Structure 1
Amino acid sequence: MRHSCLAIALACVAAQSVFAQDLRPESLKLYGGTYSPDCGNAAAPRVRIAADGLEIASGARTLRTRATMDSYTSFGAAPTSPVPEGYRVEFLGDDFSLYVFEDAKGLHVPLRDYVPTAEPIVGAKGMGLRYGRCDAR
């Protein structure tokens, strides 16, 4: 009996750490979802922002990280970095961050200059593509 109680307690602690992220539900509602240069093409590279993590994928190659928080008040690693035009939110992960911007065409997630670790996944050409939001809400 004692072991099952301990197992339940450990499972609860593990579940809390998964959901103990500082992600605002409204941020995920406004800016989460799938982004791609070709939303109608299932084989196109994609970026996904969700409560369960951040993901960059192309074919069988995938880069994932746990999403830890979102930030509207800062940009990049330096607290005094200038905020570029169109910046909406940064989703921070353990291994990389994703930035959401908005322009006349809508929401998009740029990879070039922002997520260098994505290049082995999407390739050099994929880094410069415009990843527009596929599942607008």
Structure 2
Amino acid sequence: MRSRSMRWWLMVMVCACGVAMAQDLRPDSLKQYGGTYSPACGDVSAPRVRISAEGLEIAHGTRTLRTPARMDSYTSFGAAPTSPVPEGYRVEFIGDDFSLYVFEDAKGLHVPLQDFVPAALAVVGANGMKARFARCER
């Protein structure tokens, strides 16, 4: 009985440490790429994406999709380590339920949803999925 109890507590401790270590957000990543992204930054009714230490959020009106932000990655793209990295890719913010990818092109930083965050469809709709979510001024 005692060894079973010890194994259970050991498993709890390992899981707790794994969760604590999983949150690996670099402050410089949040400073450089975090913030609010929207197709219409000045319009409070427009859909928006937020990247912060508190988590990742996609919102439009009363609909919101949130997940804790666990880590960021500059060295890989997507789930497979050998996935080709698209042009303009800067960083992936990885959450429990979805990830957000930040890209940069001649117009600046943006977060694409179509082809990257299928769960966002229920929040932003088909037009929102195709929209360019550009970084809003801080």
Alignment TM class, shorter chain as reference: 0.7 to 0.9
For structure 2, which runs of at least 5 residues remain unmatched after alignment? 1-15
Structure 1 residue 42 and structure 2 residue 44: aligned? Answer: yes
Question: TM-score w.r.t. structure 1 length?
Answer: 0.85
Post-superposition, which runs of at least 4 consecutive aligned residues in structure 1 deviate over 4 A?
Answer: 17-20
The alignment partner of 2:124 has SS state of: helix
Question: Residue in 2 aligned with 1:121?
Answer: 123
Question: Residue in 2 aligned with 1:55?
Answer: 57
| Identity between Structure 1 and Structure 2 (%) | 76
Structure 1 residue 85 and structure 2 residue 104: aligned? Answer: no
Give me the whole-angstrom Cα distance separating, in 1, the residues matched to 2:64 and 2:103: 22
Question: TM-score w.r.t. structure 2 length?
Answer: 0.84
Q: 1:1-137 to 2 correspondence within 5 Å? A: 21-136=23-138
Does structure 1 retain, via aligned residues, the 8 Å contact 2:22–2:71?
Answer: no
For structure 1, which runs of at least 5 residues remain unmatched after alignment? 1-13
Question: Residue in 1 aligned with 2:6?
Answer: none
Give the drift of 1:135: 2.3
Tell me: CA distance 1:72–1:122, structure 2 relative to 1, closer, same or farther (3 Å).
Answer: same
> How many residues are paired up?
121
